Protein backbone atom coordinates (compact mmCIF):
# COMPACT_ATOMS: atom_id res chain seq x y z
CA UNK A 1 0.00 0.00 0.00
CA UNK A 2 1.05 3.62 -0.44
CA UNK A 3 1.38 5.86 2.59
CA UNK A 4 0.90 9.58 2.87
CA UNK A 5 3.99 11.72 3.31
CA UNK A 6 3.59 14.80 5.49
CA UNK A 7 5.97 17.67 4.78
CA UNK A 8 6.21 20.11 7.67
CA UNK A 9 9.64 21.72 7.44
CA UNK A 10 11.52 23.21 10.37
CA UNK A 11 12.89 26.73 10.13
CA UNK A 12 16.39 27.28 8.81
CA UNK A 13 19.16 27.35 11.40
CA UNK A 14 21.68 24.95 12.93
CA UNK A 15 19.48 21.91 12.24
CA UNK A 16 18.49 22.98 8.74
CA UNK A 17 21.30 24.95 7.10
CA UNK A 18 19.46 25.25 3.78
CA UNK A 19 22.38 23.91 1.71
CA UNK A 20 21.65 22.00 -1.49
CA UNK A 21 22.36 18.28 -1.22
CA UNK A 22 23.34 17.72 -4.85
CA UNK A 23 23.03 14.11 -6.04
CA UNK A 24 21.45 11.69 -3.54
CA UNK A 25 23.71 8.61 -3.61
CA UNK A 26 22.47 6.57 -0.64
CA UNK A 27 20.18 6.37 2.39
CA UNK A 28 21.30 6.20 6.03
CA UNK A 29 18.83 4.37 8.26
CA UNK A 30 18.57 5.53 11.88
CA UNK A 31 16.36 5.18 14.92
CA UNK A 32 15.75 8.00 17.36
CA UNK A 33 17.37 6.26 20.35
CA UNK A 34 14.79 7.96 22.56
CA UNK A 35 11.93 5.53 23.26
CA UNK A 36 8.51 7.10 22.98
CA UNK A 37 9.59 10.20 21.05
CA UNK A 38 7.22 10.64 18.13
CA UNK A 39 7.70 12.10 14.67
CA UNK A 40 6.08 15.41 15.61
CA UNK A 41 7.81 15.45 18.99
CA UNK A 42 11.15 15.29 17.18
CA UNK A 43 10.04 17.85 14.62
CA UNK A 44 9.23 20.37 17.33
CA UNK A 45 12.45 19.66 19.20
CA UNK A 46 14.64 20.35 16.16
CA UNK A 47 12.60 23.40 15.18
CA UNK A 48 12.75 25.03 18.61
CA UNK A 49 16.15 23.90 19.92
CA UNK A 50 18.11 23.94 16.64
CA UNK A 51 20.97 21.59 17.64
CA UNK A 52 23.70 21.02 15.05
CA UNK A 53 22.15 17.68 14.18
CA UNK A 54 19.07 16.58 12.28
CA UNK A 55 17.58 14.09 9.83
CA UNK A 56 15.33 14.49 6.85
CA UNK A 57 12.48 12.26 7.93
CA UNK A 58 10.97 10.88 11.13
CA UNK A 59 8.57 7.95 11.00
CA UNK A 60 6.21 6.69 13.70
CA UNK A 61 2.94 4.74 13.67
CA UNK A 62 0.98 7.74 12.38
CA UNK A 63 3.31 9.80 10.24
CA UNK A 64 6.01 9.77 7.63
CA UNK A 65 7.15 13.28 8.44
CA UNK A 66 9.74 15.09 6.32
CA UNK A 67 11.14 17.96 8.38
CA UNK A 68 13.93 18.94 5.96
CA UNK A 69 13.41 19.03 2.17
CA UNK A 70 15.08 16.12 0.40
CA UNK A 71 17.01 18.53 -1.81
CA UNK A 72 18.79 19.98 1.26
CA UNK A 73 21.44 18.46 3.50
CA UNK A 74 20.81 17.29 7.06
CA UNK A 75 23.41 16.58 9.76
CA UNK A 76 22.74 12.95 10.65
CA UNK A 77 26.20 11.29 10.57
CA UNK A 78 29.45 12.46 12.16
CA UNK A 79 31.56 13.96 9.34
CA UNK A 80 34.72 12.38 10.74
CA UNK A 81 33.67 8.76 10.19
CA UNK A 82 35.37 7.33 7.08
CA UNK A 83 32.97 4.58 6.01
CA UNK A 84 30.65 6.75 3.92
CA UNK A 85 33.49 8.18 1.85
CA UNK A 86 35.02 4.72 1.33
CA UNK A 87 31.74 3.18 0.20
CA UNK A 88 30.08 6.00 -1.70
CA UNK A 89 32.79 8.56 -2.39
CA UNK A 90 30.97 11.23 -0.41
CA UNK A 91 30.16 12.38 3.10
CA UNK A 92 26.74 11.15 4.23
CA UNK A 93 25.60 14.64 5.18
CA UNK A 94 26.29 15.83 1.64
CA UNK A 95 24.89 12.91 -0.33
CA UNK A 96 22.47 10.83 1.74
CA UNK A 97 18.92 11.02 3.05
CA UNK A 98 18.70 10.40 6.81
CA UNK A 99 15.61 8.45 7.92
CA UNK A 100 14.71 8.00 11.61
CA UNK A 101 12.47 5.27 13.05
CA UNK A 102 10.50 6.31 16.14
CA UNK A 103 9.84 3.47 18.57
CA UNK A 104 8.99 2.53 22.14
CA UNK A 105 6.57 4.11 24.56
CA UNK A 106 3.09 4.13 23.08
CA UNK A 107 4.31 3.78 19.48
CA UNK A 108 3.03 0.67 17.67
CA UNK A 109 6.25 -0.78 16.31
CA UNK A 110 4.69 -2.79 13.48
CA UNK A 111 2.79 0.19 12.10
CA UNK A 112 5.91 2.36 12.31
CA UNK A 113 8.07 -0.37 10.75
CA UNK A 114 5.68 -0.81 7.81
CA UNK A 115 5.94 2.90 7.05
CA UNK A 116 9.72 2.78 7.52
CA UNK A 117 10.05 -0.02 4.96
CA UNK A 118 7.69 1.67 2.50
CA UNK A 119 9.50 5.00 2.75
CA UNK A 120 12.88 3.39 2.05
CA UNK A 121 11.33 1.83 -1.06
CA UNK A 122 9.88 5.22 -2.00
CA UNK A 123 13.33 6.83 -1.74
CA UNK A 124 14.94 4.04 -3.77
CA UNK A 125 12.31 4.52 -6.45
CA UNK A 126 12.61 8.30 -6.43
CA UNK A 127 16.42 8.45 -6.53
CA UNK A 128 17.05 5.24 -8.50
CA UNK A 129 18.88 3.51 -5.65
CA UNK A 130 19.53 -0.19 -5.03
CA UNK A 131 18.36 -1.31 -1.58
CA UNK A 132 21.07 -3.97 -1.35
CA UNK A 133 23.92 -1.52 -1.85
CA UNK A 134 22.55 1.97 -1.28
CA UNK A 135 20.88 1.64 2.13
CA UNK A 136 23.25 1.57 5.10
CA UNK A 137 22.70 1.50 8.85
CA UNK A 138 24.06 4.32 10.97
CA UNK A 139 25.66 1.60 13.10
CA UNK A 140 27.69 0.42 10.10
CA UNK A 141 29.07 3.90 9.46
CA UNK A 142 29.77 4.69 13.13
CA UNK A 143 30.15 1.32 14.89
CA UNK A 144 32.12 2.62 17.87
CA UNK A 145 29.23 4.83 18.98
CA UNK A 146 25.97 3.77 17.37
CA UNK A 147 23.75 0.68 17.13
CA UNK A 148 20.86 2.21 15.21
CA UNK A 149 18.69 0.97 13.75
CA UNK A 150 20.07 -2.57 13.96
CA UNK A 151 19.62 -2.80 17.72
CA UNK A 152 15.97 -1.79 17.78
CA UNK A 153 15.18 -3.95 14.74
CA UNK A 154 16.79 -6.97 16.36
CA UNK A 155 14.95 -6.40 19.60
CA UNK A 156 11.75 -6.74 17.55
CA UNK A 157 12.89 -9.91 15.80
CA UNK A 158 14.10 -8.31 12.57
CA UNK A 159 17.67 -8.65 11.32
CA UNK A 160 19.25 -6.07 9.03
CA UNK A 161 19.11 -8.48 6.08
CA UNK A 162 15.41 -9.12 6.76
CA UNK A 163 14.79 -5.37 6.71
CA UNK A 164 16.57 -5.00 3.37
CA UNK A 165 14.61 -7.96 1.99
CA UNK A 166 11.40 -6.23 3.08
CA UNK A 167 12.44 -3.05 1.25
CA UNK A 168 13.32 -5.05 -1.87
CA UNK A 169 9.92 -6.75 -1.77
CA UNK A 170 8.14 -3.42 -1.25
CA UNK A 171 10.08 -1.86 -4.12
CA UNK A 172 9.18 -4.78 -6.41
CA UNK A 173 5.51 -3.96 -6.01
CA UNK A 174 5.99 -0.25 -5.52
CA UNK A 175 3.10 1.78 -6.86
CA UNK A 176 4.58 5.22 -6.26
CA UNK A 177 1.14 6.47 -5.33
CA UNK A 178 2.22 9.51 -3.40
CA UNK A 179 1.49 13.17 -3.98
CA UNK A 180 4.76 15.03 -4.40
CA UNK A 181 2.99 18.27 -3.54
CA UNK A 182 1.52 17.07 -0.23
CA UNK A 183 1.19 20.19 1.96
CA UNK A 184 2.12 20.44 5.60
CA UNK A 185 -0.45 18.79 7.88
CA UNK A 186 -2.57 17.23 5.12
CA UNK A 187 -5.95 15.65 5.79
CA UNK A 188 -5.28 12.29 7.44
CA UNK A 189 -6.04 9.18 5.39
CA UNK A 190 -8.24 7.93 8.24
CA UNK A 191 -10.83 10.65 9.00
CA UNK A 192 -11.38 9.48 12.56
CA UNK A 193 -7.74 10.09 13.45
CA UNK A 194 -7.13 13.46 15.14
CA UNK A 195 -5.02 15.92 13.20
CA UNK A 196 -1.59 16.99 14.37
CA UNK A 197 -0.32 20.42 15.08
CA UNK A 198 3.24 21.71 15.22
CA UNK A 199 2.34 25.27 16.12
CA UNK A 200 3.44 26.33 19.57
CA UNK A 201 2.20 27.16 22.07
CA UNK A 202 -0.67 24.72 22.50
CA UNK A 203 -3.24 25.11 25.22
CA UNK A 204 -6.80 24.43 26.32
CA UNK A 205 -9.05 23.73 23.36
CA UNK A 206 -6.32 22.31 21.12
CA UNK A 207 -6.45 18.68 20.02
CA UNK A 208 -4.58 16.19 17.89
CA UNK A 209 -1.68 13.80 17.87
CA UNK A 210 0.82 16.32 19.16
CA UNK A 211 -1.44 17.08 22.13
CA UNK A 212 -1.59 13.36 22.81
CA UNK A 213 2.23 13.17 22.63
CA UNK A 214 2.57 15.97 25.18
CA UNK A 215 0.01 14.31 27.45
CA UNK A 216 1.91 11.03 27.35
CA UNK A 217 5.14 12.86 28.13
CA UNK A 218 3.49 14.52 31.12
CA UNK A 219 2.33 11.12 32.36
CA UNK A 220 5.81 9.64 31.86
CA UNK A 221 7.28 12.57 33.78
CA UNK A 222 5.02 11.80 36.75
CA UNK A 223 2.18 14.23 36.09
CA UNK A 224 -0.77 11.87 35.86
CA UNK A 225 -3.97 12.45 33.92
CA UNK A 226 -6.24 9.99 35.74
CA UNK A 227 -9.57 11.11 34.30
CA UNK A 228 -8.93 11.20 30.57
CA UNK A 229 -5.33 10.08 30.05
CA UNK A 230 -3.56 10.81 26.74
CA UNK A 231 -6.74 11.35 24.72
CA UNK A 232 -5.42 14.06 22.38
CA UNK A 233 -7.72 16.74 23.81
CA UNK A 234 -6.13 19.62 25.75
CA UNK A 235 -8.70 20.14 28.49
CA UNK A 236 -8.68 21.36 32.08
CA UNK A 237 -6.98 18.22 33.40
CA UNK A 238 -4.09 18.62 30.96
CA UNK A 239 -3.83 22.34 31.68
CA UNK A 240 -3.60 21.67 35.42
CA UNK A 241 -0.86 19.08 34.86
CA UNK A 242 1.08 21.54 32.70
CA UNK A 243 0.77 24.22 35.38
CA UNK A 244 2.00 21.83 38.08
CA UNK A 245 4.95 20.91 35.90
CA UNK A 246 5.75 24.57 35.19
CA UNK A 247 5.52 25.45 38.86
CA UNK A 248 7.82 22.61 39.90
CA UNK A 249 10.49 23.65 37.39
CA UNK A 250 10.27 27.42 37.96
CA UNK A 251 8.79 28.19 34.54
CA UNK A 252 6.18 30.79 33.73
CA UNK A 253 2.94 29.21 35.00
CA UNK A 254 0.48 29.86 32.18
CA UNK A 255 -0.80 26.37 31.35
CA UNK A 256 0.48 26.69 27.78
CA UNK A 257 2.98 24.30 26.21
CA UNK A 258 5.44 26.49 24.35
CA UNK A 259 9.09 26.01 23.36
CA UNK A 260 10.43 26.50 26.91
CA UNK A 261 7.97 24.11 28.54
CA UNK A 262 8.38 21.39 25.92
CA UNK A 263 12.17 21.68 26.06
CA UNK A 264 12.14 21.28 29.85
CA UNK A 265 9.71 18.35 29.59
CA UNK A 266 11.99 16.54 27.15
CA UNK A 267 14.97 17.30 29.38
CA UNK A 268 13.19 15.82 32.40
CA UNK A 269 12.22 12.70 30.46
CA UNK A 270 15.76 12.25 29.20
CA UNK A 271 17.09 12.49 32.74
CA UNK A 272 14.61 9.84 33.86
CA UNK A 273 16.13 7.30 31.47
CA UNK A 274 19.74 8.43 31.69
CA UNK A 275 22.67 6.70 33.32
CA UNK A 276 22.09 7.71 36.99
CA UNK A 277 18.83 5.71 36.99
CA UNK A 278 20.69 2.65 35.71
CA UNK A 279 23.79 2.10 37.88
CA UNK A 280 26.19 -0.44 36.43
CA UNK A 281 28.42 -2.71 38.53
CA UNK A 282 32.17 -2.92 38.21
CA UNK A 283 34.04 -6.18 37.79
CA UNK A 284 33.20 -9.18 35.64
CA UNK A 285 29.92 -11.07 35.43
CA UNK A 286 29.23 -14.18 33.40
CA UNK A 287 26.74 -17.01 33.00
CA UNK A 288 25.95 -18.59 36.35
CA UNK A 289 26.39 -15.42 38.43
CA UNK A 290 23.48 -14.12 40.50
CA UNK A 291 22.58 -11.10 42.58
CA UNK A 292 21.79 -7.41 42.46
CA UNK A 293 24.75 -6.64 40.19
CA UNK A 294 23.25 -8.92 37.55
CA UNK A 295 19.90 -7.12 37.96
CA UNK A 296 21.61 -3.80 37.29
CA UNK A 297 23.06 -5.13 34.04
CA UNK A 298 19.70 -6.60 33.03
CA UNK A 299 17.88 -3.32 33.68
CA UNK A 300 20.42 -1.37 31.63
CA UNK A 301 20.25 -3.84 28.74
CA UNK A 302 16.47 -3.66 28.81
CA UNK A 303 16.61 0.14 28.67
CA UNK A 304 18.74 0.15 25.52
CA UNK A 305 16.47 -2.45 23.88
CA UNK A 306 18.65 -5.53 24.20
CA UNK A 307 16.00 -7.49 26.08
CA UNK A 308 17.52 -9.97 28.58
CA UNK A 309 14.20 -11.57 29.55
CA UNK A 310 13.14 -11.41 33.19
CA UNK A 311 14.93 -8.94 35.49
CA UNK A 312 15.61 -11.71 37.98
CA UNK A 313 19.27 -11.28 38.94
CA UNK A 314 20.24 -14.56 37.28
CA UNK A 315 22.92 -14.43 34.59
CA UNK A 316 21.40 -17.19 32.50
CA UNK A 317 21.31 -17.89 28.76
CA UNK A 318 18.93 -15.01 27.99
CA UNK A 319 21.14 -12.45 29.73
CA UNK A 320 24.25 -13.91 28.13
CA UNK A 321 22.57 -13.69 24.72
CA UNK A 322 21.54 -10.07 25.33
CA UNK A 323 25.12 -9.16 26.28
CA UNK A 324 26.42 -10.97 23.22
CA UNK A 325 23.97 -9.17 20.93
CA UNK A 326 25.02 -5.85 22.42
CA UNK A 327 28.71 -6.66 22.00
CA UNK A 328 28.20 -7.62 18.37
CA UNK A 329 27.37 -3.98 17.61
CA UNK A 330 30.90 -2.83 18.47
CA UNK A 331 34.08 -3.97 16.77
CA UNK A 332 36.05 -3.10 19.91
CA UNK A 333 34.17 -5.62 22.08
CA UNK A 334 34.76 -9.36 22.28
CA UNK A 335 31.51 -11.11 21.38
CA UNK A 336 31.73 -13.52 24.34
CA UNK A 337 28.58 -12.77 26.36
CA UNK A 338 30.68 -11.79 29.40
CA UNK A 339 30.06 -8.45 31.12
CA UNK A 340 33.33 -6.70 31.92
CA UNK A 341 34.90 -3.22 32.03
CA UNK A 342 34.83 -2.65 28.26
CA UNK A 343 31.24 -3.79 27.88
CA UNK A 344 30.29 -1.64 30.87
CA UNK A 345 31.86 1.40 29.21
CA UNK A 346 29.90 0.94 25.98
CA UNK A 347 26.61 0.29 27.79
CA UNK A 348 27.19 3.46 29.79
CA UNK A 349 27.84 5.33 26.54
CA UNK A 350 24.53 4.12 25.10
CA UNK A 351 22.64 5.08 28.26
CA UNK A 352 24.10 8.58 28.04
CA UNK A 353 23.22 9.07 24.35
Q: Residue 230's closest CA among 208, 205, 212?
A: 212
For the domain 276-352, what is the CATH code?
1.10.101.10
Q: Which CATH class is domain 209-272?
A: mainly alpha
pLDDT confidence of residue 112:
95
Q: How many CB atoms lie within 10 A of CB 185?
A: 17
pTM of the shown model: 0.58
Domain boundaries, the chain: 5-172, 209-272, 276-352
Three-state secondary-structure class, residue 26: strand
> Which residues, 6 or more positions from 66, have their beta carbon under 8 angstroms from its beta carbon?
5, 6, 7, 8, 9, 56, 57
Q: How many CB atoms lie within 10 A of CB 13?
A: 16
| DSSP tag of 278 | S
Window from 108-117, 186-195, 235-244 with minimum mean pLDDT:
186-195
Window from 52-61, 138-147, 226-235, 275-284 with minimum mean pLDDT:
275-284
CA 143 to chain CA mean position, Å: 17
How many whole angstroms separate alpha carbon 351 and alpha carbon 131?
Answer: 31
* Confidence class for position 309, pLDDT limits 50, 70, 90: confident
Q: Is 205 left (phi over 0), alpha (psi -120 to 50) or beta?
A: left
Q: Residue 278's closest CA among 349, 199, 194, 207?
A: 349
- Mean pLDDT over the full length of the chain: 85
pLDDT surpasses 80 at 324: yes
Peptide bond into 151 cis (omega under 30): no
pLDDT surpasses 80 at 182: no
How many whole angstroms separate alpha carbon 8 and alpha carbon 284?
Answer: 49
Residues in the chain: 353
Residues 96-115 have pLDDT tens digits of 999 999 998 889 999 999 99
* Confidence class for position 186, pLDDT limits 50, 70, 90: very low
Same fold: 209-272 with 276-352: yes
Mean pLDDT highest for which of 28-32, 37-41, 140-144? Answer: 28-32
CATH superfamily of 5-172: Peptidoglycan recognition protein-like (3.40.80.10)
Beta strands in 107-155 (DSSP E): 135-137
Amino acid sequence: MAYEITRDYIRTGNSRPGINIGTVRFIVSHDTGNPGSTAYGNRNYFDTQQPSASAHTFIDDNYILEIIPLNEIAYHVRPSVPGDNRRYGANANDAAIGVELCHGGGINFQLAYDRYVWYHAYLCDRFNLNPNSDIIAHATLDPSRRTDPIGILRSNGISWSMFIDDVVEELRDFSGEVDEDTPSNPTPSRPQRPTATSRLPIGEGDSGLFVRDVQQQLIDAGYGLPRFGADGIFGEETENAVMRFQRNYNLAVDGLVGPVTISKLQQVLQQKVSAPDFPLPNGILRRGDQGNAVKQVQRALNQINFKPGAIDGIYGPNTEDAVRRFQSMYAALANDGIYGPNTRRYIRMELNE
